Amino acid sequence: MKAAGVVLVGVAIVAAVIGGISALSGGDGGNEAGPSGTSTQPGTSGGPSSPPATSSTATPPSTSTPASPTSPPPPTSPPPGQPTSPGPGQPGGDQQASNKWVTVRVYNNSLIEHLAARAADDFRHAGWNVTEVKGYPYGTIPATTAYYRPGTDEEAAAKALAQQFGFKAEPRFDGIKDASAGVIVIVTKDYGTNSPKGS
């Protein structure tokens, strides 16, 4: 029993010594782990000073991000300008091309068979919108003419067509004044004689 008591007392003493050593070494080790190469002095508060430095460095990235939203507005301005000019592509034929959507009806006022059909083919090959081809037996027209209703899109279209194919353009006369909308071209035997594109 005495031997057991001595052993227990010895173990308690050893445990107390080890506890004291670990407490002392733990305090020194905590100081050494804190600086970790920053400084050799254990009492300095180098650890707390480093976090503020990291927070200050984090602020510059946030200031750089607001600059990016300001750049997108400039590129949005060009698109609105483009849709305004979707029509013709070539500057020289802009006006003429913009008139070609107007319907054109071709009437034959000559004794030449299929003259209106031939003229209609010429007009179509040039991009004009020919919708009707037939004869015109109501009187004699002196020369091939494109007729239009003044003040409408027909006027510009008739003048452009007449200029392209070498004949004249005039307002509608009484006999065709009430006809359907569109340019009316009445061809006579002179069709194609003054036009480089007519045959």
Closest C-alpha to 164, from 189, 120, 197: 197
pLDDT tier at 18, thresholds 50, 70, 90: confident
pLDDT tier at 53, thresholds 50, 70, 90: very low
**Between 109 and 7, residue with greater pLDDT:** 109
Question: Whole-prediction pTM value?
Answer: 0.52
DSSP-derived 3-state class of residue 152? coil
Q: What tokens does 12 get?
A: 């308690």
pLDDT for position 86: 37
- The structural domains of the chain, with segments of one domain joined by +, span 102-187
* Residue indicated by tokens 């506890």: 19
| Cα–Cα distance measured from residue 11 to residue 7, given in angstroms and rounded to the nearest whole number | 6
Please say if the pLDDT value at position 33 is more than 60: no
pLDDT for position 97: 66
pLDDT digits (tens, 9 = 90+) for 79-98: 443 333 333 333 344 555 67
Q: Which helix (H) or strand (E) holds 170?
A: strand 168-171
pLDDT for position 160: 97
| Cα–Cα distance measured from residue 134 to residue 113, given in angstroms and rounded to the nearest whole number | 11
Name the fold adopted by 102-187. Answer: Alpha-Beta Plaits (3.30.70)
| Cα–Cα distance measured from residue 155 to residue 158, given in angstroms and rounded to the nearest whole number | 5
